[in-house]
């Protein structure tokens, strides 16, 4: 999807600029002109619109996400199709994704546990509803300090599917998710459940503490690593207790039945393993493991831009996090600034005054008397009008018609 929609309008959304771009979608910063608020607008590529399976998955994702209410999940506002363009409008989070923090180097154990505990809570809630995220990775974890004193996490960009579903590719063979953190059963197209997301969370635990994902290199090399190789011992890359290797090894077991019962249990085990160093600084890097890429080496290929939750055919692209949504810098103005500029300051008072005048006119019309009936003479209101009964009965009224008697 190469066309830049900046400056255009989709439904009631004015597109202000590009946040991220990929082969299957483009995420824009946009303004909801009806409500005057900023949103993240993910527009799906036109080439995917005819794919019936993809459209069904898109609608299912949108409906499932809109029904989720959790403090650590990005709220979905709206989704629709306009002129062949499928779009999802989401909350625009002011912060940075977790991948940006990891690129600066390994995180401290305490910070890692604080952030990933929030991710685990959100994922377990999804799993309790029979849903699987399917695209858990640092680029889809947004970190902000705007919610309070501590860093607050939002899980974003779902590749949501139902537990037990299979066939996570489009009709054209596009893989739905990121191979960098994908579980073996996901890559093989086997049934998935909450343990599939747990595998990806364990890989994220490895990445936060080491500054790199567990498997690096070309796409096929990474896939083969997830399918048949053991995750490298973390304690050989950074100065951490060897017991953390057991935690990550269990969380990334090739057999889902050998993993933890849920994501919270994985983080709890990591907390116990890192208890002795939880308050220390970032772990010291010990150098590359045998046959691996140096710890601080970036993923092969250019650094990917932030994008939505779908990825192109993984056999045709360099390994990257192809679906990323990075929130922009702080807007710095009220969400209603745009709407105020569109209406002059005098607009509201003039409308109010006009409405008041209309109300007054209506009240006057309603209260005004209609045609009054002729007043009847009062018998005791004035002396000049007082007539006795006899004179009144004998004297005909001026308007009486004389009657001619017959002879």
217-260 tens-digit pLDDT: 999 999 999 999 999 999 999 999 999 999 999 999 999 999 99
- Say if residue 340 carries a ligand binding annotation: no
pLDDT, mean of residues 267-289: 76
Q: What is the pLDDT of residues 184-217, one digit of tens each?
A: 999 998 999 999 999 999 999 999 999 999 999 9
- 10 lies in a domain? no
Position 173 scores a pLDDT of 54
- 352 lies in a domain? no
Active site residue 135: yes
Going by C-alpha positions, the residue among 87, 92, 74, 66 that lies closest to residue 11 is 87
Q: Which residue has the higher pLDDT, 170 or 220?
A: 220
| Residue of 135, 157, 174, 321 marked active site | 135
CB-based contact 141:154 (threshold 8 Å): yes
Going through 103-235 in order, the beta strands assigned E by DSSP cover 131-132, 141-144, 152-155, 161-162
At 148, which CATH number?
A: 1.10.510.10
Question: For 114, phi and psi rounded to 5 degrees?
Answer: -65, -45
pLDDT at 285 over 80: no
Average the pLDDT over each of 85-94, 162-171, 244-253 and give the range with the smallest value. Answer: 162-171
Average pLDDT, the chain: 76
Position 41 scores a pLDDT of 92
Within 13 Å of residue 290, how many CA atoms lie on the same side as its CB? 0
Q: Which domain holds residue 189?
A: 94-332
pLDDT at 102 over 90: yes
Position 172 scores a pLDDT of 52
Average the pLDDT over each of 42-46, 169-173, 284-288 and give the range with the smallest value. Answer: 169-173
CB-based contact 334:251 (threshold 8 Å): no
Going by C-alpha positions, the residue among 242, 140, 132, 245 that lies closest to residue 198 is 132
**Number of structural domains found in the chain:** 1
pLDDT at 34 over 90: yes
Count CB-CB contacts under 10 A for residue 53. Answer: 13
- As a whole number of angstroms, the distance between CA 116 and CA 278 comes to 14
**DSSP class per residue in 269-315:** HHHHHTTTTTTS-SPPB--PPTTS--TTPPPSSSPPPP--S----TT
- As a whole number of angstroms, the distance between CA 253 and CA 198 comes to 10
- 304 lies in a domain? yes
Q: 269: left (phi > 0), else alpha (psi -120 to 50), else beta? A: alpha
Listed in sequence order, the DSSP H helices in 15-135 are: 52-66, 98-103, 109-128
- 197 lies in a domain? yes
In the chain, the percentage of residues whose pLDDT exceeds 70 is 67
Give Cα 61 distance to the centre of its chain.
11
pLDDT band (50, 70, 90) for residue 72 = very high
- 82 lies in a domain? no
- 395 lies in a domain? no
pLDDT at 2 over 80: no
Position 337 scores a pLDDT of 35
- 278 lies in a domain? yes
pLDDT at 158 over 50: yes
Position 168 scores a pLDDT of 53
Q: What is the pLDDT of residues 360-405, one digit of tens each?
A: 888 888 877 655 555 554 444 444 444 444 444 445 545 444 545 4
Q: Which residue has the higher pLDDT, 135 or 116?
A: 116
pLDDT, mean of residues 54-74: 82
pLDDT band (50, 70, 90) for residue 164 = low
Q: What is the pLDDT of residues 327-336, one digit of tens each?
A: 333 333 333 2
Q: How far apart are the first and last CA of the chain?
A: 116
Question: For 339, phi and psi rounded to 5 degrees?
Answer: -70, -30
Position 353 scores a pLDDT of 84
- 316 lies in a domain? yes
């Amino acid at each position: 999807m190469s066309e830049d929609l900046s400056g255009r309008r989709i439904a009631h959304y004015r597109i202000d600029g590009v946040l991220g771009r990929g082969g299957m979608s483009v995420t824009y910063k946009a303004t909801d002109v009806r409500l005057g608020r900023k949103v993240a607008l993910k527009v799906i590529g036109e080439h995917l619109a005819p794919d019936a399976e993809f459209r069904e998955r898109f609608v299912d994702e949108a409906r499932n996400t809109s029904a989720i209410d959790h403090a650590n999940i990005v709220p979905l506002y709206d989704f629709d199709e306009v002129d062949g363009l499928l779009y999802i409008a989401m909350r625009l989070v002011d912060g940075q994704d977790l991948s940006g923090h990891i690129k600066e180097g390994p995180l401290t154990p305490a910070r890692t546990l604080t952030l990933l505990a929030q991710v685990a809570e959100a994922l377990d809630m999804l799993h309790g509803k029979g849903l699987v995220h399917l695209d858990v990775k640092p680029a889809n974890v947004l970190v902000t300090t705007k919610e309070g004193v501590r860093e607050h996490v939002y899980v974003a960009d779902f590749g949501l599917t139902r537990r037990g579903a299979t066939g996570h590719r489009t009709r054209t063979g596009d893989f739905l998710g990121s191979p960098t953190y994908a579980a073996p059963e996901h890559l093989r197209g086997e049934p998935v459940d909450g343990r599939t997301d747990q595998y990806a969370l364990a890989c994220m635990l490895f990445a936060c503490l080491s500054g790199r994902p567990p498997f690096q290199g070309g796409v096929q090399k990474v896939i083969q690593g997830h399918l048949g190789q053991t995750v490298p011992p973390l304690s050989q890359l950074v100065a951490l207790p060897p017991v953390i290797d057991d935690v990550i090894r269990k969380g990334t077991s090739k057999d889902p039945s050998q993993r933890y019962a849920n994501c919270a249990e994985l983080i709890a085990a990591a907390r116990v393993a890192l208890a002795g160093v939880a308050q220390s600084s970032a772990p010291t890097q010990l150098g590359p493991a045998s046959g691996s890429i140096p710890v601080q080496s970036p993923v092969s290929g250019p650094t990917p831009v932030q994008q939505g939750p779908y990825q192109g055919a993984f056999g045709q692209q360099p390994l990257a996090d192809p679906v990323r949504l990075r929130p922009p810098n702080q807007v710095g103005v009220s969400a209603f600034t745009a709407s105020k500029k569109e209406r002059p300051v005098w607009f509201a008072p003039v409308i109010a005054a006009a409405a008041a005048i209309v109300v007054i006119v209506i009240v006057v019309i309603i209260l005004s008397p209609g045609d009054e009936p002729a007043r009847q003479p009062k018998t005791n209101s004035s002396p000049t009008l007082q007539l006795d009964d006899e004179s009144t009965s004998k004297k005909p009224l001026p308007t009486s018609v004389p009657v001619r008697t017959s002879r």
